[in-house]
Every structure is written in C-alpha cells, then in structure tokens.
C-alpha cells in the first residue's frame, strides 16, 4: 500500500491514505488522512473549537458554583456537537477533493468513507483476499478492477469447519456454482468462473526474475507467455555492488542434485512434546549442510545475508537450518513455502528434503505451493 502511495506521489495526484499514522511509512505520512485533517487550513477551524473546548473543560474545575457549572456543561455539549460536524465536513472535503483514496479492504468500511461513491475501485492482490472482504470496498464502486495472480496461494483459512459443509448446503450450492463455495474461493476465482477469461487481461512482463529463473514457471503455469523485463532478464548476483564474480555468484540457476542415496531424508520421531505437524515432518541434514555451505560461499563473495532467503517445505528442516544459520547470519530469511513473507530476494535457496527409495514426495506435489507468492506478474480481472 505504501509502495503505491510513494509511486503515485511522483505524479502529483491529490490523494489521501486512510489508516493509523503510526502504521504508515514516514515517507507517506503527509498523505495520511489523519495527519492532513490535523494540519491543513480547513483543519484550523476544527482546531479552534477543540481549543475552546479544552479551555471550558479547564474552567469547570475552577468553578465551585453548581449553576455556573451546568451552564458550562451545556456550552461544552454544543461545542462538541459543532466539533463533530466540522470535523466531518473537513474529512468529507478532503476525500472529495482527492483523486485517489487508498485504504485496506477493512479500512474502506470505516466511517470516514460513509456514503462515498467511487468511479473505480481497484483491489490489489485480490487473489489473496476473502470475497467478503472485497465486498466491503466494492459497495462503493461503479466499476471494479481486481488485480492479482490466481496461481498464488489462496487466502489462508485456519478453521477447518469453514472448508467442510453440510450436505444440505452442498445440495443448495450445486445448482448455482461448483461445490467449492468455501472461504477459499476468492471473488477472483468466482468472477472468472462466471464470466470466463474474456474479462481477464494478463500482464506478461515481469520485472523481478532473471530470464532463466522465470522460464519454468512461465512454461508450466503461464502458457510460456511471461517476458522478462529488459533490466532484469540477465541480472546476476556478481553484478551487485560489492559482490565478486565466483562460480557461485555468476550462475542464475543452480541445481544440486543429491540423487544416489547419500543425502537421505529423516522422519522426525513422534515426540509427544512436539506439535503434530513437527512429528510428521521430514528433515535432511546433508541438504541442510549444503545450504549452509552455499550461503557461506555467497556471503564470502560479498552478498549481504539480507539478500538471501532459504525456503523449505518442512518445519523440521526449517528448524535445523534455523539453528545452523540464524546465529551467524541474523539478516537471512528462513521460511516455509507457505510463509507469509513472499517478498522477492536476490538469491533464494530451496531445500526440497525428500529423498527415499520409496519415492514418496508428500505434499510438495502441489503446484501452487511451489509457485509461491508472485505479485510481479498478474492477471487482471475487470467487471463493470
């Protein structure tokens, strides 16, 4: 959100950002509705009333006479009323004079936007939002644009009962939609199912990945339609300031094939103290050692640990890696595939863990897991 404010600011578009100032980046504070209503000219009048109220309030404590107090209370009540009316007018003015109002889906339901109507409501990362959340914002829209990537993981639903439903509900839904009407079905999915791909526009140029990193996801998931932006398609680690060219830094795509049984996986023993997911988890110490070695190589070549992420699908592996790496490289990001922090990194190391002669792969098999979070390229869904 703050990224969008920063970029819009360069076009000198009048805009306000809703949300508590304490949670905003300093660089976007002067667009905060809260901050503007306290500092702008229009806010002067509101401030004057506030001051008068404070003075009255203070004078009450000096007055002993009950009748006088009652008079002051009466005045205070009127002032408070006027204060609310003016503040409201001030907020309405600011919102009406802004070309763009930025808010979270929840924030867009706040009292400040009560009765506001918008020509267009754009929902970013819509594939990650619950449909109900989207409607908070959409009620004020004449036209809606949803931006997002339907191949991203759907919003995380923790409550299982929301995924399973009664027979009756299933029968009821069967006639209208498919039987996947759970909270995981996003508005994005539903609009595509309802209207087909004619309402969709795919943005094909991505500005993140080296061409070689992009190629497989593009072939498999995006019909080979992705294009790597001119500035990113050949970027290497060795071109970063302060990074030397080594065997490890001049390659965009490296595969350590641990085939042959020397890197066996290990099942965590079912220790009762561990959570259930840990008990079923898998680890691979040799792979972990390989990760550590590669990280050491990259850092020795000059790469900052902050620029490296290590990802693995198994919690048991994550905990081994964390013990081995966190102490020495506090800045490094360690995460599971489903982790929330889907930000881009200069280098990502992926430890797949599974290695056994029964050829069991487990839950790695789900495509969307591996695709992970991807916001650089996106399908657009548009509906009027």
Residues 203-222, interacting with another protein (CB under 8 A)? 208-210, 212-217, 219-220
Binding to another protein by residue 161, rule CB under 8 A? no
Per CB under 8 A, which of residues 16..45 are in contact with another protein? none
Residues numbered 261 to 280 that lie near another protein (CB under 8 A) are 262-263
43 CB neighbour count, 10 Å cutoff: 19
Q: How far is the CB of 78 from another protein (least distance, A)?
A: 58
- Min separation Cβ 311 and another protein, Å: 8
Helices (H), 274-325: 276-279, 285-300, 315-325
d(CA 189, CA 98): 32
List the one residue from 98, 376, 380, 383 that touches another protein (CB under 8 A).
376
Q: Which residue's CB is nearer to another protein, number 165 or number 345? A: 345
Residues 49-68 that bind another protein (CB under 8 A): none
From CA 138, how far away is CA 116, in angstroms rounded?
11
- Using the contact rule CB under 8 A, the part of the chain among 27-35, 46-54, 156-164, 282-290 near another protein is 282-290
Residue from 90, 102, 332, 347 that binds another protein (CB under 8 A)?
A: 347
CA 261 vs. chain centroid, Å, equals 39
Closest by Cα among 97, 141, 138, 134 to 120: 141
Span 312-341, contacts to another protein by CB under 8 A = 320, 323-324, 327-328
Site for another protein in 136-155 (CB under 8 A): none
The least CB distance from residue 233 to another protein, in Å, is: 11
For residue 69, how many other CB atoms are within 10 A of its CB? Answer: 14
245 closest CA partner among 257, 237, 253: 237
8 vs 228 by CB, closer to another protein: 228
Q: How open is the CA angle 272-274-279, to the nearest 5 degrees?
A: 85
Q: What angle do CA 122, 128, 129 make, to 5 degrees?
A: 65
Asked whether position 229 contacts another protein by CB under 8 A, the answer is no
């Amino acid at each position: 959100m703050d990224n969008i404010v920063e970029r819009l600011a360069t076009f000198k578009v009048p805009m306000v950002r809703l949300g508590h100032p304490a949670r905003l980046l300093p660089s976007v504070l002067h667009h905060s509705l809260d901050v503007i209503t306290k500092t702008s000219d229009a806010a002067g009048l509101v401030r004057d009333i506030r001051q008068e109220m404070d003075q009255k309030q203070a004078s009450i404590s000096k007055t002993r006479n009950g009748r006088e107090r009652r008079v002051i209370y009466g005045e205070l009540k009127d002032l408070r009323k006027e204060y609310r009316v003016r503040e409201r007018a001030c907020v309405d003015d600011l919102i009406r004079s802004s070309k763009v109002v930025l808010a979270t889906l929840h924030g867009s339901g706040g009292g400040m936007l009560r009765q506001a109507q918008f020509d267009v409501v754009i929902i970013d990362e819509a594939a990650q939002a619950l449909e109900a959340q989207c409607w908070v914002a959409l009620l004020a829209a004449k036209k809606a644009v949803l931006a997002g990537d339907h191949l991203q993981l759907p919003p995380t639903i923790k409550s299982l009962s929301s995924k399973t439903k009664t027979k009756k509900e299933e029968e009821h839904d069967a006639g209208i939609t498919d039987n996947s009407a759970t909270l995981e079905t996003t508005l994005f999915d539903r609009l595509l199912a309802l209207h087909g791909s004619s309402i969709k526009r795919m943005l094909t140029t991505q500005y993140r990945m080296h061409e070689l990193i992009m190629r497989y996801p593009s072939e498999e998931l995006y019909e080979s339609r992705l294009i790597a932006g001119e500035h990113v398609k050949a970027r290497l680690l060795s071109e970063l300031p302060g990074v030397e060219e080594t065997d490890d830094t001049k390659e965009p795509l490296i595969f350590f094939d641990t085939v042959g049984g020397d890197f066996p996986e290990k099942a965590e023993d079912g220790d009762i103290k561990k959570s259930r997911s840990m008990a079923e988890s898998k680890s691979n110490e040799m792979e972990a050692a390989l990760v550590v070695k590669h990280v050491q190589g990259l850092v020795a070549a000059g790469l900052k640990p902050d620029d490296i992420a290590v990802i693995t699908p198994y919690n048991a592996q994550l905990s081994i890696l964390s013990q081995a790496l966190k102490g020495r490289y506090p800045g490094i990001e360690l995460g599971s595939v489903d982790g929330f922090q889907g930000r881009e990194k200069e280098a990502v190391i992926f430890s797949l863990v599974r290695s056994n002669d029964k050829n069991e792969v487990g839950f790695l098999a789900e495509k969307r897991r591996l695709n992970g979070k991807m916001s650089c390229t996106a399908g657009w869904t548009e509906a009027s």
